[in-house]
Amino acid sequence: MLDQSLTERLRRIVGERHFRDDQEARVAHSYDGTPMLQSLPDGVIYPENTAQVSEIMRALSEYRVPVVSRGSGSNLSGGTVPLQGGVVMVMHRMNRILEVDAENLTATVQPGLITAEFITHVEAMGLFYPPDPSSMRISTIGGNIAECSGGLRGLKYGTTKDYVIGLEAVLPGGDVIRTGGKLMKDVAGYDLTKLLVGSEGTLAIITEATLKLIPPPAAKKTMLAMFKDIYAAARTVSRIIEAKIIPATLEFMDNPTIRVVDDFAKLGLPRDMEAILLIEQDGSPETVERDIERIRSICELEKADRVEVAETREHADKLLTARRSAFTALARLRPTTILEDATVPRSRIADMVLRINEIARKHGVTIATFGHAGDGNLHPTATTDARDKEEVHRVELAFEEIFEAAIELGGTITGEHGVGMVKAPFLEWKVGRAGIDVMKGIKAAFDPHNLLNPGKLFAKETRRRVVIERG
Amino acid sequence: MLDQSLTERLRRIVGERHFRDDQEARVAHSYDGTPMLQSLPDGVIYPENTAQVSEIMRALSEYRVPVVSRGSGSNLSGGTVPLQGGVVMVMHRMNRILEVDAENLTATVQPGLITAEFITHVEAMGLFYPPDPSSMRISTIGGNIAECSGGLRGLKYGTTKDYVIGLEAVLPGGDVIRTGGKLMKDVAGYDLTKLLVGSEGTLAIITEATLKLIPPPAAKKTMLAMFKDIYAAARTVSRIIEAKIIPATLEFMDNPTIRVVDDFAKLGLPRDMEAILLIEQDGSPETVERDIERIRSICELEKADRVEVAETREHADKLLTARRSAFTALARLRPTTILEDATVPRSRIADMVLRINEIARKHGVTIATFGHAGDGNLHPTATTDARDKEEVHRVELAFEEIFEAAIELGGTITGEHGVGMVKAPFLEWKVGRAGIDVMKGIKAAFDPHNLLNPGKLFAKETRRRVVIERG
């Protein structure tokens, strides 16, 4: 429960309608895209501008009330669940495109802007913003920045981090900082811009972002390569990169994913294939032609069963939609879907897929795997039922072993979804005790009273590493 | 003076030959590439591996002795001058390429490796590492990482930051951390990799780096565009970017620079031009042809006096050498050369050049300007004489106004040379009081006893902002 004098102050800052502590608003903001995780906030606030955010933070700081800032809550690691109650700050009213600067190829936007709306807007101006998380129709730019979202174009174009060049952010005490700018180069002090990207709302509240835009590619082609041997598909990924071709998109779906996607989207995918690679190249028309033909040869060398190059943009979009709908399609199978994003060096994709399948078999759980094969970022996805505690427990054990396997293969516990609450117990596996200590020090430097999204990133207890019984 | 028990311990760690406290070694490491700045260290140590670095740091921490890690000392902001004495740690013995991984397109190297040697090595393997600071023939990868070095290819390819994907580093107390990896995506906690890049040796000692490589462009073309009107040249830069062409290189030299470069390199440059743009495009042969022709048209529209496309690689190299020799050529004019790197949004290049010239005239000092116009990173360079205190004072006043102008135009005090000692009094102008406080908090989280490169980044006193009298 918030102190009444605080709620009155918050209402004065944003106006009566924009602070709510009724049950409906609280329940609606008690969860995010992560299954089996819920915690009620004490209130929900909707600021309209940076000055309000600053005043809100000043008030919450004085009262030592935690705050979780969020966009659409499509987070998959529990990053936007208000674990310790307090206030949820929803950024949806701050959703304007403040400027698109064609001379500097930058855009300045507010955090509540929907990613897909932004992409559509700049595309209509003949510009290109590459980060395209699968959630982009609902996710916000602010959420993408907080999580350092990736997407299907990450392999060639990088992730959100590579496009954020300036930020305005409010510190827990209410001070406003500005980092970077419309600058391709800036080494004035520590790089706070890149530090805030991916900081999961634990360091500051992002209130404005300057994003780098690039010229759009002139041409694009999309193809599918289908394999009866899953490891041949994974090897093909490595062969393409080794041949020094960096496709715009290089996605992987295993057989269980293919089947549910086809049930869902009715694409006539071949249901007997063990794996499909969805490959897209963009660039100048000549480069695209050349690369697609070279990729086709590599697929055939690796004994792809079928290679299909989309002849029209509509056909290409349909194939892309297949991949984009993988999560939604899998989510229809059973009541609970747990999607993870263990990531490995791209040369280890085949090993990782093998390990995931072994681990799933060992624990008797269903895990379908798809993801961004080109950058080693896989999404092993378990379909289960939250009501079956025993099965859910086995799924959890399986994911622990999957994280362990990713680390063993030189990878990481999360490539684009963030640590949040769900992966906090595993963070030390990746960054070590000294790494955790440094990160905690950074957290304390920004947020000495631990008010911003408390309970995330750092777990009370690190999970003991499991011993993987192979074979 | 170091405690004798400490010097004995240091000698035991690295071996007799690799710790020196004789006058010769101390003087040789008392300065870097920055003019008019010198401070003697108490000792110089040359570690061979990470374990030694860790032991050294443990010892120095116990004795509370400051340490400045460095490569070749080509720093231009006093970043590697041991202001508070202590030990200079020279990384030259740790200069191996540990691995080039063609499957993952990564290289793992030690910090003391010379940049140009690394570039040559990977190019011989058909791979490409874009960051190419002008000092690359002597600079080290570790130094490039510490400063986040840019270079001539920054416009299209980004800077060092964009290629560092994993680090091993030793914390002040001797603990070793590992960040990132051979991973194109990793969001496990705060991005310590990007935080350490550009941290100027103030947070940790970098002992190993994993770098991203990319496929080399298939073709490349180089051209010069010469202008009688300096602002037409600056406008041309904006027009090229607005036309959605991102050249690999887009460099600017003003008339004073043209003249000294021509004296130095005997290239037959037209000495009556007010500005030259050096433009390079790379990519597929078709794209290069197309872009170079489009750029030629833009230059002609903006009334370039002459446009010259290099017909051979030798000719192109000669033109590039012209630009690369600008600093060396200017340095021959008078005893002291002060090179700065104020940076503005690229649309403000013309305004910035105008302001630099006004400011130089006002203070009666000689400033030649060249630099990476495409990314707004200019190098106004004063030629002066350190023995003439009064003139040097006027140069300093001029640079203060140049920094002020850069900030006013939405820019920054440093694009690629770092803050070091020289620009520390101006850092607050860019990042604000709250930004400084956050950065100091980060520093304290890594280095509570302020032993790593003390006296850098943070000045005892911020310079008061000067009022610029215009016109």
pLDDT, tens only, B419-439: 999 999 999 999 999 999 999
pLDDT of residue A179: 98
Q: How far is A23 from chain B (nearest CA, A)?
A: 33
Alpha-carbon torsion, ordered A42, A48, A53, A58, to 10 deg: -70
Phi/psi at A458 (nearest 5 deg)? -105, 120
Q: How far is A264 from chain B (nearest CA, A)?
A: 29
In the prediction, which pLDDT does A318 show? 86
* Share above pLDDT 90 across residues of chain A, in percent, rounded to a whole number: 87
CB contact under 8 A, A171 and B438: yes
Residue A471 has pLDDT above 50, yes or no: no
Residue A306 has pLDDT above 80, yes or no: yes
Name the average pLDDT for chain A: 95
* Shared-domain flag, residues A228 and A257: yes
The last residue of one of the domains, among B90, B123, B153, is: B90
Q: Which among A90, A115, A138 is the end of a domain?
A: A90
B38 burial via Cβ count (<10 Å: 0-12, 13-18, 19+): middle
Tokens coding A430 = 């990746």
Whichever domain contains B226, its CATH number is 3.30.70.3450
| Range scoring the smallest mean pLDDT among A46-60, A395-409, B338-352 | B338-352
Helix (H, G, I), strand (E, B) or coil at B234: helix
Give B418→chain A minimum CA distance, Å.
6
Average pLDDT of the residues in B42-47: 98
* Cα–Cα distance, B258 to A410 (Å, whole number): 50
Q: Report how far Cα A368 is from the mean position of its chain's Cα atoms.
A: 18
To which H or E segment does residue B20 belong? strand B19-20
Q: Is residue B142's pLDDT more than 60?
A: yes
Q: Is residue A293 part of a domain?
A: yes
* Domain assignment of residue B453, yes or no: no
Percent of chain B with pLDDT over 70: 99
Quote the percentage of chain B above a pLDDT of 90: 88
Q: What is the mean pLDDT of residues A345-367?
A: 94
In sequence order, which residues have a C-beta less than 8 Å from that of residue A122 and are 6 or more positions away? Answer: A100, A107, A128, A129, A213
Q: Are residues B314 and B416 in the same domain?
A: no
Residue B471 has pLDDT above 70, yes or no: no
Same domain, yes or no: B230 and B318: yes
pLDDT at B467 over 60: no
**Confidence at B470, pLDDT banded by 50, 70, 90:** very low
- Torsions phi, psi of A249, nearest 5? -140, 140
Confidence bin at B466 (pLDDT 50/70/90): low
pLDDT for the residue numbered A323: 84
Q: What ipTM does the predicted assembly reach?
A: 0.96
- How many domains, chain A? 4
Q: State the smallest CA–CA distance between residue A266 and chain B in angstroms.
A: 32
Helices (H), B176-308: 192-196, 230-242, 255-265, 285-301
Q: Do B439 and A103 touch (CB under 8 A)?
A: no
Which residues are paired to A208 by β-bridges?
A168
Element (H, E) at B6: helix B4-14
In a domain, A470, yes or no: no
| Mean pLDDT, rounded, of chain B | 95
- Which of A12, A17, A38 minimizes the C-alpha distance to A27? A38
How many of the other CB atoms lie within 10 Å of CB of B249?
Answer: 25
Clarify whether residues A49 and A134 are in a common domain.
Answer: no
By C-alpha distance, the chain A residue nearest B214 is: A244
The CA dihedral of B192, B193, B199, B203, to the nearest 10 degrees, is 50
Q: What is the per-residue pLDDT for B150? A: 93
Q: Do residues B378 and B341 lie in contact, with contact meaning Cβ atoms separated by under 8 Å? A: yes
A468 pLDDT higher than 80: no
pLDDT in tens, A230-245: 989 989 998 999 999 9
Residues, chain A: 471
CA B407 – CA B398 distance, rounded (Å): 14
pLDDT band with cut points at 50, 70 and 90 for residue B469: very low
| Among A442, A109, A56, residue whose Cα is nearest residue A68 | A56
Q: With contacts defined as CB-CB under 8 Å, which chain A residues touch B154?
A: 184-185
Residue of B123, B184, B422 for testing the chain A interface, max A β-carbons within 10 Å: B184
Q: Measure in Å the smallest separation between the Cα of B177 and chain A Cα atoms.
A: 6
Identify whether residues A245 and A173 lie together within a single domain.
no
Indicate if B11 and B109 belong to the same structural domain. no
Let me know the angle formed at the C-alpha of B24 by B19 and B29, rounded to the nearest 5 degrees: 70
Q: What is the pLDDT of residues A436-463, one digit of tens each?
A: 999 999 999 999 999 999 999 999 888 8
- B33: in domain: yes
Residue B310 forms part of a structural domain: yes
Which residue from B155, B419, B445 is facing A184, i.e. has the nearest CB? Answer: B155
Residue B292 distance to chain A (closest CA, Å):
14
Is the pLDDT confidence value at B202 over 90? yes
Q: What is the pLDDT of residue A133?
A: 94
Q: How far, in Å, are A342, A410, A429 from residue B178 at the CA level?
A: 18, 11, 11
Interface test mutation site (partner A, options B162, B178, B185, B294, max chain A beta carbons within 10 A)? B185
> Do A208 and A102 belong to one domain?
yes
Q: Tens of pLDDT along B234-289?
A: 899 989 999 999 999 999 999 999 999 999 888 888 899 999 999 999 999 999 99
Looking at the fold, whether A128 and A36 belong to one and the same domain comes out as no
Spell out which residues of chain A touch residue B431, defining contact as CB-CB under 8 Å: 177-179, 188-189, 192
Residues on chain A touching B417 (C-beta within 8 angstroms)? 187
- Asked, for residue A127, whether it belongs to a domain, the answer is yes
In this predicted structure, what is the pLDDT of residue B434? 97
Write a three-state SS string for chain A: CCCHHHHHHHHHHHCHHHEECCHHHHHHCCCCCCCCCCCCCCEEECCCCHHHHHHHHHHHHHHCCCEEEECCCCCCCCCCCCCCCCEEEECCCCCCEEEEECCCCEEEECCCCEHHHHHHHHHHCCCECCCCCCCCCCCEHHHHHHHCCCCCCHHHHCCHHHHEEEEEEECCCCCEEEEECCCCCCCCCCCHHHHHCCCCCCCCEEEEEEEECECCCCEEEEEEEEECCHHHHHHHHHHHHHCCCCCCEEEEEEHHHHHHHHHHHCCCCCCCCCEEEEEEEEECHHHHHHHHHHHHHHHHHCCCCEEEECCCHHHHHHHHHHHHCHHHHHHCCCCEEEECCCECCHHHHHHHHHHHHHHHHHHCCCEEEEEEHHHCEEEEEEEECCCCHHHHHHHHHHHHHHHHHHHHCCCECCCCCCCCCCCHHHHHHHHHHHHHHHHHHHHHHHCCCCCECCCCCCCCCCCCCCCCCCC
Chain A residues within 8 A of B178 when measuring between CB atoms: 431-432, 435
Find the residue in B nearest to A427 (Cα): B188
- The answer to whether A288 touches B284, Cβ cutoff 8 Å, is no
Q: What is the domain range of residue A243?
A: 219-325
Backbone angles phi, psi at B35, to 5 degrees: -70, 155
Please check whether residue B385 lies inside any domain of the structure. yes
> Which residues in chain A have their CB less than 8 angstroms from residue B410's CB?
181-183
Q: Of the candidates A212, A247, A264, which is a domain's last residue?
A: A212
A117 and A186 housed in the same domain:
yes
A48 and A114: one domain? no
- The CATH number covering residue A395 comes to 3.30.70.2740
Q: Which two tokens stand for residue A44?
A: 């929900």
pLDDT of B463 reads 82
Q: A248 and A316 share a domain?
A: yes
Query: Do residue A340 and residue A432 come from a single domain?
Result: yes
CA angle B425, B428, B433 (to 5 degrees): 135
- Residue A466 clears pLDDT 60, i.e. is over it: no
Is residue A134 a contact partner of residue A278, using CB atoms and an 8 Å limit?
Answer: no
Q: What is the CATH number of the domain that holds B9?
A: 3.30.43.10
- Contact criterion met (CB < 8 Å) for B344 and A183: yes
Between B319 and B128, where is the model more confident? B128
Residue B192 makes CB contacts below 8 A (sequence gap 6+) with A431, A435, A438, A439, B167, B177, B179, B180
pLDDT of residue B218: 94
- CATH number of A121's domain: 3.30.465.10
Interface test with B, best of A127, A184, A341, A450 (most B CBs within 10 A): A184
Comparing CA positions, the residue from B91, B81, B66, B79 lying closest to residue B26 is B81
pLDDT of res. A469: 46
For position A461, what pLDDT does the model report?
85
Closest CA to A342 of A376, A308, A365: A376
SS3 B215: coil
In this prediction, residues B21-34 reach a mean pLDDT of 97
B39: enclosing H helix or E strand: none
Q: Residue A468 domain-assigned?
A: no
Q: How confident is the model over A386-433, as pLDDT tens digits?
A: 999 999 999 999 999 999 999 999 999 999 999 999 999 999 999 999
Q: What percent of chain A has pLDDT over 70?
A: 99
